[in-house]
Amino acid sequence: MTLYAAYGTNLDPARMGERCPHSPLRGTGWLTGWRLTFGGEHHGWDGSLATIVQDPLEQVFVAVYDVTPEDAGLLDGWESADTGLYRRTRVRVATMAGEVVAWAYVLDAYEGGLPSASYLGVLADAAEAADAPVDYVAALRRRACRSTGL
C-alpha cells in the first residue's frame, strides 16, 4: 500500500470508502508549506478546481489513506489523473504520529478563478466529515466563490 493525502472532496471518509473500498483512512494531518487554491477554471463544473501550491507560510488539512494499487488506479480515474488534468506529487504530511510521505494530486493548470459555491460547499462538508478544525472549515465556507453557474 501507498499513502495518499486528500485535501479536497476525498477528505470525506464515506466518499473515499465508495471510491476506494480497499483503502482505509489512516489519520489526518497537515501539509505544511502548502496552500489550498483553485485553478483550471475552464475545466471545472461551474468554475475553478481545487489544487495545492507550495507556500512557506500556509498549511492544508489532509486525510491520509492507505491506498491499494487497484484503488490507486480507480482514484486516478476519479481525479482525472489518467487524462492529465491532475498529476501526482509527493508531499510530507505532519501527523500526530510523526511525519509521513504520501502523494497528493496537483492540478495541471494555471492558478486563478473562483470555484462555484456548490463545489466549495462540498469541499467544506468533506473537511467537516474528516474532523478538520472548526476554523479551517469556517475559512473554507467564507472563501470567495461564484454564486451561480457559468
pTM: 0.93
29 membership: H or E segment, kind and range? strand 25-39
Q: Which homologous superfamily is 2-139 in? A: Gamma-glutamyl cyclotransferase-like (3.10.490.10)
pLDDT computed for residue 148 by the predictor: 58
Distance from C-alpha of 113 to C-alpha of 5, rounded to nearest angstrom: 24
pLDDT computed for residue 149 by the predictor: 47
Q: Per-residue pLDDT averaged across 59-81, rounded? A: 95
Task: For residue 42, give the DSSP letter.
Answer: G
Is 119 labelled as part of a ligand binding site? yes
Residues classed as catalytic: 79
Query: Can you give the residue ranges of every domain in the chain?
Result: 2-139
Q: Give me the DSSP letters along 35-67.
A: EEEEE-GGGSSSS-EEEEEEEEEEEEEEEEEEE
The C-alpha cell at 141 is 465556507
